[in-house]
Structure 1
């Protein structure tokens, strides 16, 4: 019997009982759809994590001082000398006043105030919407000037341009010299959208901030991050006489760890979803066994007129494969539809389709039909024609 004829007979059997066929395929449909959607979710989450890290700044090393007292104080001028090292392109030490009382005209609220230098803008990739950023002269003369984030500007000035206006931070007047564009949340750092940036020494003196707690360091390339990390570790260990008073956060390592964790979780979810395919395969086997029982006389007639065992086996095996293949195809279309239709329901979480996973999921669904259809097909092919003809 030709293969095309087997396909035609299988399609005739499948379409003869559409409801039973659909219920049989349901496990495969859900399995394939789940695999595609979950992998797309994992890909989208990975892309979002990478975007957030890049949003904070590329090739970034963050130094946090943990200890207290003079033994763990960092000197601004000492830190800035490291900009002469080839593995370090920019350094931005910071001091933070959390929950500072802010007043502008009749509006009062609290915001985070970050004391830093002019390098901070390029390191964290913060763009100016109006006005300008902090300059070296602002740091030198300890000017009472401020650059505000987009959320701060909206809170205190609404849609008005805040440049040139005066805000009071802890009762001290500061002149707004710039407003930053909206940047979004950052991983591992305070969002500049909800922060006010002032010159470092101004923040230290006006708000009685003790010492530099966090320093952002940018390397020229990704490979230089590890060289910069070793350089700063050696310096801080020597200065603090210990390697426990500070932490070094390498953004490349954080990104790799986060991506690995996301990939692991995605694989676990896909493994769970793949169980649906196996359940679907068991359903196919069950239906095919019922089909063999229902068509015992047909098998007996075919064998009595010369049909070979191989032909009977292939007939039922092709039917099982067609059922699982159609289920895989419907699951594939449903999964792709969910991926492309997801933006209509959620703008925050994105999904990214993986074409190779689509191919693998469909191929696995077909393989499920072959594996779970083999036993019923083999059982049908072994029926004796006389016993089959006697069957009711």
Structure 2
């Protein structure tokens, strides 16, 4: 018997029991759609992390000082002396004060204020939308100048040009010299969009902050990152006579860890979704066993008029594969639709469709039909004609 004839017979059987067929497909549909959707969400998350990684800089190291002991005392000149170390291209020490009152005219908002130097913007991969960034002269003369993020500019000025306007920062008047382009958050969870950036010496005096708590250090190349990290570790250990009270974050290691965690979670969710496929396969086996029982007399008649064992085996195997394949196709369409719709449901979550994953999920669903349909098909093919004809 030709495959096309078997396919036509299988389609006739499927059409004769549409509700039972749909219920049988349900496990496969849920499994395939879940796999595709979860993988697209996982890949979207990985791409989002990669974008943040690019925004932070591949060769960037972040030094953080913690606690209230000796490991909190670093001044600007000490940190900047390290910039002459071979392998280090730039250093941007920072002081940060969160939730600081910022006023313009009758509007008052709270934003993070960052005190830093003229290297900071390049290290953070930010860009100026209008005006200029901090200059060395602003640090030398402790000028009361400020560069604001795009969110700050929109909040206070809307579409108006804020350059040369004056705002009140923690009780001191600062002149706006620049506005940053919209950038979004980086892997450290900070955002230049909502930042108010001032010269570090000016902030130290106005906010009465004596020591630097963090610094960004950029290695000259990717090959220098490990060596620069070792130099910083030796410097801090020697200065504070301790290996505690400070830490150094390597952006590459941080991103790799986050991507690994995201990938692990996605794989676990996909494994759970794959169980639905196996459950669907068990459902197919169950229904095919019922079908064999219902069609025992039909099998006996076909065998008595010359149908061979392989014909019966192929007939029921094609039916099981057809049901599973149709469920896989519906699941594929549903999974793609959910993946495309998910960013609208949850705007903060990106998705990235993978055609290869969709193809593998569909092929696996068809394979499930073959595997779980094999036993019922084999059972049907082994029925003896005389016993099948006697079956009531």
Tell me the TM-score range normalised by the shorter chain: over 0.9
Is the contact between residue 117 and residue 134 of structure 1 (CA under 8 Å) also seen in structure 2?
Answer: yes
Is the contact between residue 144 and residue 202 of structure 1 (CA under 8 Å) also seen in structure 2?
Answer: yes
For 1:328-353, what per-residue CA distance to the aligned partner results, in whole angstroms no more than 9, with x for missing partners?
A: 11111221222233344443322111
The alpha carbon displacement at 1:213 in A equals 0.3
Is the contact between residue 88 and residue 220 of structure 2 (CA under 8 Å) also seen in structure 1?
Answer: yes
**CA gap 1:379/1:116 in 2 versus in 1, 3 angstroms:** same
May I ask how many residue pairs the two structures share in their alignment? 392
Distance in structure 2 (CA, Å) of the matches to 1:130 and 1:229 = 35
Is the contact between residue 72 and residue 212 of structure 2 (CA under 8 Å) also seen in structure 1?
Answer: no
TM-score (norm 1): 0.95
Is the contact between residue 71 and residue 245 of structure 2 (CA under 8 Å) also seen in structure 1?
Answer: no
Query: What is the correspondence of 1:83-122 to structure 2 with a 5 Å cutoff?
Result: 83-122=83-122
2:372 matched residue in structure 1: 372
Query: What is the correspondence of 1:299-338 to structure 2 with a 5 Å cutoff?
Result: 299-338=299-338
**CA gap 1:71/1:260 in 2 versus in 1, 3 angstroms:** closer
2:224 matched residue in structure 1: 224
Is the contact between residue 187 and residue 255 of structure 2 (CA under 8 Å) also seen in structure 1?
Answer: no
Matched, 1:76 2:44: no
The alpha carbon displacement at 1:13 in A equals 1.8
Distance in structure 1 (CA, Å) of the matches to 2:292 and 2:227 = 70
1:339 matched residue in structure 2: 339
2:275 matched residue in structure 1: 275
Query: What is the correspondence of 1:56-71 to structure 2 with a 5 Å cutoff?
Result: 56-69=56-69
SS of the residue 2:81 aligns to: helix
Is the contact between residue 97 and residue 209 of structure 1 (CA under 8 Å) also seen in structure 2?
Answer: no
Which stretch shows the higher mean deviation, 176-185 or 261-270? 176-185
**CA gap 1:232/1:11 in 2 versus in 1, 3 angstroms:** same
SS of the residue 1:146 aligns to: strand
Is the contact between residue 145 and residue 174 of structure 1 (CA under 8 Å) also seen in structure 2?
Answer: yes
Is the contact between residue 312 and residue 380 of structure 1 (CA under 8 Å) also seen in structure 2?
Answer: yes
Which stretch shows the higher mean deviation, 380-389 or 69-78? 69-78
TM-score (norm 2): 0.95
Distance in structure 2 (CA, Å) of the matches to 1:347 and 1:32 = 24
The alpha carbon displacement at 1:207 in A equals 1.3
Matched, 1:23 2:23: yes
SS of the residue 2:88 aligns to: coil
Is the contact between residue 61 and residue 248 of structure 1 (CA under 8 Å) also seen in structure 2?
Answer: yes
Which stretch shows the higher mean deviation, 72-81 or 284-293? 72-81
**CA gap 1:45/1:73 in 2 versus in 1, 3 angstroms:** same
Distance in structure 1 (CA, Å) of the matches to 2:71 and 2:343 = 53
SS of the residue 2:265 aligns to: helix
Distance in structure 2 (CA, Å) of the matches to 1:289 and 1:174 = 81
For 1:126-150, what per-residue CA distance to the aligned partner results, in whole angstroms no more than 9, with x for missing partners?
A: 2111111000111111111111112
The alpha carbon displacement at 1:242 in A equals 1.0
Which stretch shows the higher mean deviation, 300-309 or 379-388? 300-309
Distance in structure 2 (CA, Å) of the matches to 1:232 and 1:180 = 30
The alpha carbon displacement at 1:19 in A equals 2.3
2:348 matched residue in structure 1: 348
**CA gap 1:283/1:70 in 2 versus in 1, 3 angstroms:** closer
The alpha carbon displacement at 1:123 in A equals 0.6
Distance in structure 2 (CA, Å) of the matches to 1:104 and 1:219 = 39
2:253 matched residue in structure 1: 253
Is the contact between residue 72 and residue 240 of structure 1 (CA under 8 Å) also seen in structure 2?
Answer: no
Is the contact between residue 65 and residue 71 of structure 2 (CA under 8 Å) also seen in structure 1?
Answer: no
SS of the residue 1:101 aligns to: strand
2:201 matched residue in structure 1: 201
1:8 matched residue in structure 2: 8
1:235 matched residue in structure 2: 235
1:139 matched residue in structure 2: 139
Runs of 5+ unmatched residues, structure 2: none
**CA gap 1:198/1:218 in 2 versus in 1, 3 angstroms:** same
For 1:162-218, what per-residue CA distance to the aligned partner results, in whole angstroms no more than 9, with x for missing partners?
A: 111112222222111111122222332532222211111111112110200010112
